[in-house]
Amino acid sequence: MSKITDPAQFGRVAVVMGGSSAEREVSLDSGRNVLAALKARGVDAHAIDGIPALLDALRAGHFARVFNILHGQHGGGEDGVLQGALESLNVPYTGSGVLGSALSMDKTRSKRVWQSLGLPTPKFVALPRGADVHAAAREIGFPLIVKPAREGSSVGVTRVFEEKDLEAAVALAEKYPGDLLMETLIEGDELTVGILGREVLPTIHIVPKGAFYDYNAKYIAEDTRYICPGLQGDAEAELRTLSLVAFDALDCSGWGRVDVMRDRQGRNWLLEVNTAPGMTSHSLVPKAAAVAGISYEELCWRVLETSFDRDRGIPGGRP
């Protein structure tokens, strides 16, 4: 249930979107939707494009809090840099803090944390630039995934089934900043689990028409099917529990989305956490929220409410 009843309690809200990451267009789409939803509920919300413009406006005292719907790293606002700036300015904001954002953006470090806690994640090898990718592939075994270690929205991701396709996969991933990650390709069902405060939303089973849930299937195609809840009974409860444990393990808070593969034997494998998930017409958290009886406008309101937990110094509203 909502904790805030009067939109004036939020003050003037900056909805920061766009930015300069590889996910700029998705962020702009998400941001427009969030802005419209907040305005429809009477919130004094305004669009700001990118971190430099936001920080200028905050230093000038124009906003009371920030709804962060930037995606990605390097100006994308999802890697801990923006969060650190907002902390230094004592401006409350939505989403995870510095550590949770930075850890989640770096898939290699996320997986190391989960591994250290005995949580299931596919076997992986970190690939610094110039590493011997063929030796890494021999260690992982085919089929495998090659991806940038710090990007989202499936940009730069390739499924590799044979060694002859390895070089092309690496070349694609290297178009993006930072190191690469190679991991075992889990063949099975792709699921995702939204987190809203301490509430775990129903799981979604994603069924793309193509081979896997790539950028086109996420944001462009109209033939991807979404089954929600994605599982039933004990399997659904087990995955929701695992997702919250994985979310907490990375010090995430506020809201987010945990992406998982479920293999043919019914085992769950953690892939990554998104700390500022998409809010487009194709996005997953709004779909799960709708099944839980939460409208898009109410979802945006409740995400914005989580910024008050920072006012009280309680990261993400944890008890």
| pLDDT above 80 for 154 | no
112, 124 contact by CB (below 8 A): no
Over the chain, what is the mean pLDDT? 89
My answer on whether 209 and 277 are in the same domain is yes
Closest CA to 51 of 24, 30, 27, 20: 20
The DSSP letter of residue 305 is H
Both 250 and 225 in one domain: the answer is yes
Mean pLDDT of all residues in 227-247: 98
Q: Is 82 inside any structural domain?
A: yes
Active site residue 23: yes
Whichever domain contains 286, its CATH number is: 3.30.470.20
216 is catalytic: no
Radius of gyration of the chain (CA): 19
77 as an active site residue: the answer is no
Average pLDDT (261-289) is 94
Q: Starting from the edge strand earliest in sequence, which strands make up the sheet with 124-127, in order?
A: 124-127, 180-184, 144-148, 158-160
Is residue 167 domain-shared with residue 207, that is, in the same domain?
Answer: no
Write down the catalytic residue from 19, 50, 77, 278: 278
Active site residue: 24, 150, 257, 302, which one? 257
pLDDT value for 312: 46
Is the per-residue pLDDT at 302 higher than 60?
yes
Number of domains within the chain: 3
On whether both 146 and 285 belong to a single domain, the answer is no
Asked if residue 113 and residue 52 are part of one domain, the reply reads no
Kindly indicate the confidence band of residue 220, based on its pLDDT and cuts at 50, 70 and 90: low
In a domain, 306, yes or no: no
pLDDT at 78: 85
Take residue 13 and report the two structure tokens written for it.
């809200």
- Of the residues 274, 283, 305, 307, only one is catalytic, namely 274
Categorize the per-residue pLDDT at 314 as very low, low, confident or very high, splitting at 50, 70 and 90. very low
- What is the Cα–Cα distance from 248 to 263, expressed in whole angstroms? 23
* Residue 156 belongs to domain with CATH number: 3.30.1490.20
Per-residue pLDDT at 121: 97
Chain segment 162-174, per-residue pLDDT in tens? 999 999 998 998 8
Q: Residues 109, 248: one domain? A: yes
Q: Which domain holds residue 12?
A: 7-94
Catalytic annotation present for 274: yes
Distance CA 34, CA 276 (A): 12
pLDDT band, residue 178 (cuts 50/70/90) = confident
Whether residue 198 is found in the same domain as residue 276: yes
Is the distance from CB of 231 to CB of 239 less than 8 angstroms? yes
The reply to whether 219 belongs to the active site is yes
**Which of 293, 206, 189, 197 minimizes the C-alpha distance to 253?**
197
| Residues 12 and 130 occupy one common structural domain | no
Q: Is residue 1 part of a domain?
A: no
Identify whether 257 is a catalytic site residue.
yes
Contact 280, 153 (CB under 8 A): no
The rounded distance, in Å, linking the Cα atoms of 46 and 235 is 42
Given 33, 110, 153, 253, the catalytic residue? 153
116 and 233: one domain? yes
Clarify whether residues 89 and 171 are in a common domain. Answer: no
Catalytic residue among 183, 259, 305, 309: 259
Of the candidates 184, 200, 233, which is a domain's last residue? 184
- Quick check: 217 pLDDT over 60? no
Residue 315 lies in a domain: no
Candidates 18, 19, 21, 23; catalytic one: 23
Which pTM does this prediction carry?
0.89
In terms of domains, do 193 and 261 share one?
yes
Q: What angle do CA 54, 58, 59 make, to 5 degrees?
A: 120
Q: List helix spans (H) across 262-314.
A: 284-291, 296-305, 307-311
